[in-house]
Amino acid sequence: MKTALVTGGGRGIGRAIALRLVKAGFRVAITARTSEQLDETVALSKGAITSVTADMADPEAIRAMIAQVEQRLGSIDLLVNNAGWGGTFEPIWESDPQQWWRCLEVNLRGPYECSRAVLPAMIARHQGCIINIASGAGGHAIENMSAYVASKTALIRLTEQIAVEAKPYGVSAFAIRPGVVRTAMVEEARQKIPMIQNALNKGLESPPEAAADLVAYLATGKASRLSGRLFDVVHDPQEMVDRAAEIEKENQYLLRLKL
């Protein structure tokens, strides 16, 4: 049985992913800052999930958390970097530099630290998978969301970087766009970001289970040829795998500069 670690597993997308991976046969560990939320997820799994509290903006806490998970469940085969924060919603010149940077610490350094911690064992075993929960915000600018946009854009590129460096060792990495999910962040952001509210008004909302199903598919290894690519819940992942040659030839689903 393989082991999966899901960050931000106390609610929303992370909770749906954790519960879905239990059904897929994984030993699952979740982490978040709030133990109460973690306890709710564990209860929903009927005790099948292990939880460890940690702040994704604290590198030492991350390393200690991963050590605990490995001690309890063994080496991590699947890492899902889901924990994230929307930051504050205002123009750059009105933003608090410390809050702005904390968004980068949670959304980018957190996944980096988690990935860095689990990759040596994955490399040694020549197997493993890292899935980063990105966002549509990683592909374009959104007014008054500079920290979040910058963090998710960088996370998509970090995913590709991990994929390139780990490919010779049989380790894959993917970024996914979960769509507009009614998380706590979206509930806050829709009050201040018209684009988000407009998407909800148009019925473009995605259930967290869609992201969970996509993670479960990628965890099977069927899409390993497309490691480094960005997958979206609105696309059929099997259809993407079926046309992998075309995707590779045309450099699709990657961040690229058009001149």
Which are the catalytic amino acids?
148, 152
Both tokens of residue 64? 């200690």
- Tell me which residue has tokens 């197997």: 127
Strand-pair partners of 133: 176
Cβ neighbours around 46 below 10 Å, total: 8
Q: Is the dihedral of CA 155, 105, 66, 120 positive or negative?
A: positive
Cα–Cα distance between 95 and 253 in angstroms, integer? 31
- Residues whose CB falls within 8 Å of the CB of residue 156, separated by 6 or more in sequence, listed in order: 132, 134, 138, 139, 175, 230, 255
Cα–Cα distance between 169 and 224 in angstroms, integer? 12
